[in-house]
């Protein structure tokens, strides 16, 4: 059952937003979106105190919900505008999906683990967040709805998957952690049909982006 969003939750969430603002790494529209998503609903009720601290946390199936400062940083780098089509690779808990929806994006999200795909789809439905959920390997993207103005990868990729690049619109931005062990947060901007600009934005640790679906 969906947990209520009480004054206590709202207070804790506001504190988290204030902390993230103090870090100075997140854009105002992203902080506003984070302020609206009840993050505790993505946790079992016994783990409330973890929901609003800046930590990654296990979500089952060997995966983690990214820490709020990482969500804030990746989403800020992505620069989402309302109505844009955004492809997210690695649905996981669905928390990042909800943040993107709060920013007004049309979200297409892919997860390779069936258990997580099903759980996130159910939860976001209960929370009245509408997205397109796909079960598959994000290395292949989601060609039926391409091109995307934004692509966000939330697992650590060995390289920039060429198929994802093909699905990125001209003028579009892709944010993807690249590397093994730890990753460089990488921004890929498609500046013309044949050219991209690649820049890196610090070191992070993500669970690996794996092949195939399970
Ligand atoms: N955005 C998520 C973060 C989850 S961690 C959240 O807010 O909770 C990364 C997720 O990427 C995991 O759920 C993992 O199963 C998924 N993943 C890893 N490799 C993938 C791939 N090739 N395609 C799709 N999802 C993948």
Q: Which residues pair with 152 in a beta bridge?
A: 88, 175
Q: pLDDT digit string (tens) for 139-153?
A: 999 999 999 999 999
Banded model confidence at residue 51, pLDDT cuts 50, 70, 90: very high
The domain defined by 58-204 folds into Rossmann fold (3.40.50)
Interval between CA 154 and ligand 1 midpoint (Å): 6
Write out the catalytic residue numbers. Answer: 66
Q: How far apart are CA 27 and CA 31, in angstroms?
A: 6
The atom number, within ligand 1, closest to the CA of 211 reads 22
Each residue's pLDDT tens digit, 61-110: 999 999 999 999 999 999 999 999 999 999 999 999 999 999 999 999 99
Q: Look at residues 80, 63, 104, 79 and name the one whose alpha carbon lies nearest to residue 209.
A: 63
The closest residue, in CA terms, to atom 4 on ligand 1 is: 92
Q: Is 36 helix (H, G, I), strand (E, B) or coil?
A: helix
Contact assessment for residue 153 and residue 90, using Cβ atoms and an 8 Å cutoff: yes
Domain ranges for the chain? 58-204
Measured distance CA(156)–CA(184) in Å, rounded: 9
- pTM, 2 dp: 0.98
* Ligand 1 centroid from CA 156, angstroms: 9
- For residue 92, the ligand 1 atom closest to its alpha carbon is 13
Over 90: is that where the pLDDT of 163 sits? yes
């Amino acid at each position: 059952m969906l947990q209520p969003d009480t004054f206590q939750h709202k207070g804790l969430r506001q504190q988290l937003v204030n902390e993230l603002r103090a870090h100075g790494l997140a854009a105002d529209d992203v902080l506003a979106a984070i302020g609206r998503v009840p993050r505790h609903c993505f946790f079992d009720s016994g783990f409330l105190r973890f929901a609003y601290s800046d930590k990654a946390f296990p979500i089952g199936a060997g995966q983690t919900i990214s820490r709020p400062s990482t969500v804030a940083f990746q989403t800020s780098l992505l620069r989402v505008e309302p109505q844009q089509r955004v492809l997210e690779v690695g649905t996981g808990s669905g928390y990042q999906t909800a943040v993107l929806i709060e920013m007004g994006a049309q979200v297409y999200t892919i997860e390779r683990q069936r258990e997580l795909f099903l759980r996130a789809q159910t939860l976001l439905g209960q929370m009245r967040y509408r997205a397109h959920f796909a079960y598959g390997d994000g290395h292949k993207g989601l060609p039926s709805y391409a091109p995307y103005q934004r692509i966000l990868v939330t697992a650590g990729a060995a390289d920039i998957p060429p198929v994802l690049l093909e699905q990125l619109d001209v003028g579009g931005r892709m944010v993807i952690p690249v590397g093994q062990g730890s990753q460089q947060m990488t921004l890929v901007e498609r500046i013309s049909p044949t050219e991209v600009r690649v820049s890196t934005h610090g070191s992070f640790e993500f669970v690996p982006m794996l092949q195939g679906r399970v």
